[in-house]
């Protein structure tokens, strides 16, 4: 068999040469994980804010 591996769907795919790294940005793996957690929280807050703002115009009286 070649270097390709059988994936979940039953198709063959080549293994990745290297996992994605963020060293170009100057962050270590643990710093990257911390940034991802913080950005996910910020994104969730903005999503909730957007949804509330979007529905706000239905509650206007007058």
Q: What is the pLDDT of residue 3?
A: 57
Are the C-beta atoms of 48 and 40 separated by less than 8 Å? no
Contact 6, 12 (CB under 8 A): yes
Closest CA to 30 of 22, 41, 39: 22
Rounded CA separation 38/30 (Å): 13
Cα–Cα distance, 20 to 25 (Å, whole number): 12
Q: What would the pLDDT profile of 20-49 be if each residue is shown by its tens digit?
A: 666 677 888 888 899 999 999 999 999 999
pLDDT of residue 17: 56
Residue 9 backbone phi and psi in degrees, to 5: -80, -5
């Amino acid at each position: 068999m070649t270097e390709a591996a059988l994936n979940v769907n039953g198709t063959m795919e080549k293994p990745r040469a290297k996992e994605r790294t963020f060293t170009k940005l100057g962050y270590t793996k643990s710093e990257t994980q911390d940034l991802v957690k913080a950005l996910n929280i910020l994104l969730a807050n903005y999503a909730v804010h957007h949804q509330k703002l979007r529905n706000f115009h239905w509650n206007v009286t007058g």
